Each structure stands twice: as C-alpha cells, then as structure tokens.
Amino acid sequence: MALEADGALRLETGDGAGGCPGDTRLWIFDAEGAQVAFNDDGGVGTCSLIDTDLPAGAYTVKVDGFGGNPLAGYTLTLGYPACGNGTIERDETCDDGNLEDGDGCAADCTIEPGCGNGQLDEGEACDDGNLDAGDGCSPECAFEQVCGNG
C-alpha cells in the first residue's frame, strides 16, 4: 500500500460483522522490509489492531494466524482516524459525528468548557457530567440541596 502523505493509519482484522474469526497477527513493513508495527490480539477477541502514525511512503501489510495456524477467512479494514466520524479515536476526548463548535464537543474533538461536561470549569461550583436536576449538582452547575445532605 502507498501513503501519499504523513498521517494516522488504522488496520484491523475481523470477520466483517464485528466479531473475530480466529487468532490473527498483523505486521506493517516499510519499503526496505523493516518492521514498523506489529500487533497480536489488540482488536476484538483475538483479532489484531494497529493504530499508528506513519510517514508518506510504500508499505507492505502481512496477516497470518497465530502460531502459523491457517485462517478460515478474515476481513482487513484500513482506515484513517478522523475527527467528526462519530467514533472516539486516538487523541480525541469526544467525537459527536460533526465538526461544529458549541455542542459540547469542539471541532477538534476536545470537550468544550461548559456545564455538564464533567470538568470543573471557571464559574462552576460542581460539574457531574450531566444536566440533571436533583442529583446534587444543578443544570447550572451549582450545588443543590438534596434530602439527607444537611
């Protein structure tokens, strides 16, 4: 495979339906044949998963069964992690499936300051990660009187 630019790359073995068909091992080699990544059992079940950053260039991918055992069949998924795809990947703290600011998850997939984000931001007395009333921290991030707390 060839990467046109430096970037993040995700390779994962599986059965194509969210499961794992067998114990896989996964390698990435550079153009000179040097191993640049390896994984055994980092994915679902005993399947393999590699999340890595690679420079532009040519690479070879190898998949085999653990211990040289034959694989009945597998799917190799190649992806490029990206903010805004709805899946929290790599260095993201949130990913709500869009690149809009002001909805709790910023366009760079970091949690935005504000009440309900689970982080104590300036001007908040509490922040329990939700906007529910009656749980000790109000939807305005102020302490609430709750029966039994004095």
Q: What per-residue confidence (pLDDT) applies to 149?
A: 56
Residue 118 domain flag: no
CB distance 51 to 90 below 8 Å: yes
User: pTM score, two decimals?
Assistant: 0.58
Residue 94 domain flag: no
What rounded mean pLDDT belongs to the chain? 88
pLDDT band at 102 (very low <50, low <70, confident <90, very high): confident
Q: What per-residue confidence (pLDDT) applies to 66?
A: 87
Sheet holding 49-54, edge to edge: 49-54, 7-14, 75-79
Structure tokens at 44: 């679902």
* H-state helical runs in the chain: none
The DSSP 8-state label assigned to residue 67 in this structure reads G
Q: Domains in the chain: how many in total?
A: 1
Q: What per-residue confidence (pLDDT) applies to 58?
A: 95
Residue 144 domain flag: no
Residue 10 CB neighbours (<10 A): 15
* pLDDT one-digit tens code per residue, 39-92: 998 889 999 999 898 999 999 999 998 887 778 788 998 887 778 888 887 778
d(CA 81, CA 86): 10
Residue 120 domain flag: no
Average pLDDT over every residue of 99-117: 87
Residue 26 domain flag: yes
Residue 61 domain flag: yes
Question: For residue 70, which phi and psi values (nearest 5 degrees)?
Answer: -70, 150
Among residues 113, 108, 114, 116, which one has the least CA distance to residue 91? 108
Range of the domain at 37: 2-79
Residue 11 domain flag: yes
Residue 48 domain flag: yes
